[in-house]
Each structure stands twice: as C-alpha cells, then as structure tokens.
Amino acid sequence: MKQEIAEIPGCIAHQIKQHGPLYKNVGRRLRAHSPTVMITVARGSSDCAAAFLKHLVEVRLGVPVASVGPSLSSVYGQSLWIERAVSWAISQSGASEDINALHCSNRAAGALSISLVNSPNSRLAQNSDIALPIGAWPELALPATKSFVCSLVAIAAIVSEWTGDRDLFDSLHALPELVERSYRLDWGVAEEALAGCESALILGRGAGYPIACEAALKLKETSYIFAEAFSAAEVWHGPAALITPERPVILIAPADEASVGAVATAEKVRALGARVFVVSSDQGRACLPVPNASNSVAEAIAMIARFYALAERLSGKCGVNVDSPRALQKVTVTI
C-alpha cells in the first residue's frame, strides 16, 4: 500500500497523457447523447467514486444520478424502466457477478453502458458499449488507493469535456505536483488522535462527501477503526448523538460553495466537546492542511491521496498488517 500511494502522482501524469483524449471523446459523446438520467453500478471504493460522479454531474449538468443496488438484477431478477439513460459501472477488477448483472440488464433495457475499469480484458469491459481504462497500472495492495484516485481523475476529465470546462481538465495536469506537495504536509496530530480510538466520524459536503465516504472505508479496512461518513448537513438529523470527546471527527472541506456551511458544522461539533480535524487548503482553518488548488475538484482528489498516507501510517500504530487485513480479498466477487 505504501508503495502504491507513492506511485499516485506518476500514475495520474501517465493516465492523463495516455487516456486523456479517450476521456474527452466520451465527454463529447455524452454531450451528444444528452441523457435524462444516469445509473451508477458499483460497490466499495468504486461506489465512493460513483458518488463523486454523482456530485459533478448533478451540480454541473443538472442530470439526476442514482446509485442502484446490483442485487436488483442478480438476486431479484428485475430490470429498470429507463429511457435515454446511461448506466455507468465502476470497478477495479470488473469481475463481480452482481455488478455485471445489473450493468447488462441496464444495457438490455436501452441504456448507454459505460464501464470504468482497471482490468481492460474483464467481463465488465466486454459487457459495455464504452469500456474506459482507469489506467492505474496493476494494483496489488488490498486497500484500493491509486485505482480510486485515477477513477476520480477519469471522471473529472470526462465531465470537463461534457460541460466544456477546459479549466477543469487543465487543472488535472497540475494534480501530480499537488499530490506530491500534500504528502510533505504534517498530519501527525490526526494520526495520534486516531491511533487511540475505536471509532471516528468523517464528515463532508459537496465534493467533500464522497471523499469522506472513502476515507471512512479506508480506516475500517486498514486500522479496524469503526469510522462512519456523514454529510455535514445530514449529521444533525440523528448522527450528532454520536458526537463525544472520545470520538475524533474529521471534516473534509474542499473550497467550494459548501465549504462555509461545512466549516460552521465543525465549530458546532467542537462546541459539543469533540476533537475536530479540518482538512482544508485554508491555513487558518486547517488542522490537516492541503496545498491550494485551482478548483475544488482537484483539491478533493489531493485530499484523499493525502488521507491514504495517513491511513497507511496509522495502520502500523494500530498493529495492523495493512497489506493483509483480515477477512478481505483484492478481488471481491459478490452475487
């Protein structure tokens, strides 16, 4: 895991150079297709990437995006009523039975089927109208890191062309250096706090929410910390009862329109006695700093790359062999 985290900057640079034109072509095809709805098909880290896709497509294009449980087709044998839709599947391996079942069902129902997969010869790629490479090179570590980051890069590149936002695509070229700089910033205060706890809350909103979901998942699988992710707004609809001085709270706050409200949430949480660690490029607010980026999308991607480095170091403090976490396999095949 440590080696693959270090590979992320080079992987992004190679991905943009090798696959950037392909991502742009798909963005243009989606613009011409003009879908009325998008269905995402994914599990685990890939479903967190799908939530990032949902945020970008809904906010920038106004197209509703729904994550549909793959068991709809694989277990219940049902298909969706979809017209002028896109089925977008995301997977590192492309091997899971239920992911393939729902994606094929959506395709048979008339949806344009797109897969974003790190295994170009996988079943999922073969079951798609458009098969896109994640381009993360072979990923051997059990916890997904570079495949998740490169999934976000691919999504951002496609959406940039779909919306005609050239600045967004250009910002991806600066990501490798941004991630390298983030690795050099000190997050030791959060490592120490998390090493002494059994559970944590990870909050985010806007572009920060999918990052919070992935960060919580990583704490579970690498350090056995019962971490839960919530929207910085949703947390007040019940989960706030979990806030205690013994349970650290990490707020993922990229600098977009949601950041003001998210930071206000951090202050309310702190007032309840919790230890709060804000991930931000605003040096006045951040306990866990990241470098300034030209937009919140690039900033959010750099945030999760830096969080991976924290998670890998934390696993050692928690006595976990991060490359062999219990009960997990690299290729997860569910039905």
Residues 161 and 93 in one domain: yes
Q: Could you tell me if residue 295 is inside a domain?
A: yes
125 within 8 A of 91, measured Cβ to Cβ: no
Residues 60 and 87 in one domain: yes
Question: How do 199-204 and 249-252 pair as beta strands?
Answer: parallel
Known active-site residue 268: no
pLDDT at 191: 95
Q: Could you tell me if residue 22 is inside a domain?
A: yes
pTM of the complete model: 0.95
Residues 102 and 207 in one domain: no
- Residue-range definition of the domain harbouring residue 191: 177-317
Query: Which entry of 17, 54, 146, 330 is annotated as an active-site residue?
Result: 330
pLDDT tens-digit readout, 207-265: 999 999 999 999 999 999 999 999 999 999 999 999 999 999 999 999 999 898 988 99
Residues 304 and 183 in one domain: yes
Residues 19 and 114 in one domain: yes
Q: Could you tell me if residue 301 is inside a domain?
A: yes
CA distance 144 to 149: 9
pLDDT tens-digit readout, 157-179: 999 999 999 999 999 999 999 99
How many domains does one find in the chain?
2
pLDDT tens-digit readout, 83-131: 789 999 999 999 999 999 999 999 999 999 999 999 989 999 999 999 9
Q: What is the mean pLDDT of the chain?
A: 95
Residues 207 and 166 in one domain: no
- Choose the final residue of a domain: 109, 139, 173: 173
- Choose the final residue of a domain: 148, 173, 198: 173
pLDDT tens-digit readout, 273-312: 999 999 999 988 779 999 999 999 999 999 999 999 999 9
For 50, residues 6+ apart whose C-beta sits below 8 A from its C-beta are 40, 41, 42, 67, 88, 90
Residues 122 and 248 in one domain: no
Q: How buried is 197 (Cβ within 10 angstroms: 0-12 exposed, 13-18 middle, 19+ buried)?
A: middle
CA distance 153 to 133: 11
Residues 279 and 156 in one domain: no
Q: Could you tell me if residue 327 is inside a domain?
A: no
pLDDT at 301: 98
Residues 156 and 196 in one domain: no
- Choose the final residue of a domain: 115, 146, 173: 173
Residues 74 and 207 in one domain: no
Residues 195 and 157 in one domain: no
Q: Could you tell me if residue 326 is inside a domain?
A: no
Q: Could you tell me if residue 324 is inside a domain?
A: no
Residues 197 and 213 in one domain: yes
CA distance 274 to 282: 21
Within 13 Å of residue 268, how many CA atoms lie on the same side as its CB? 13
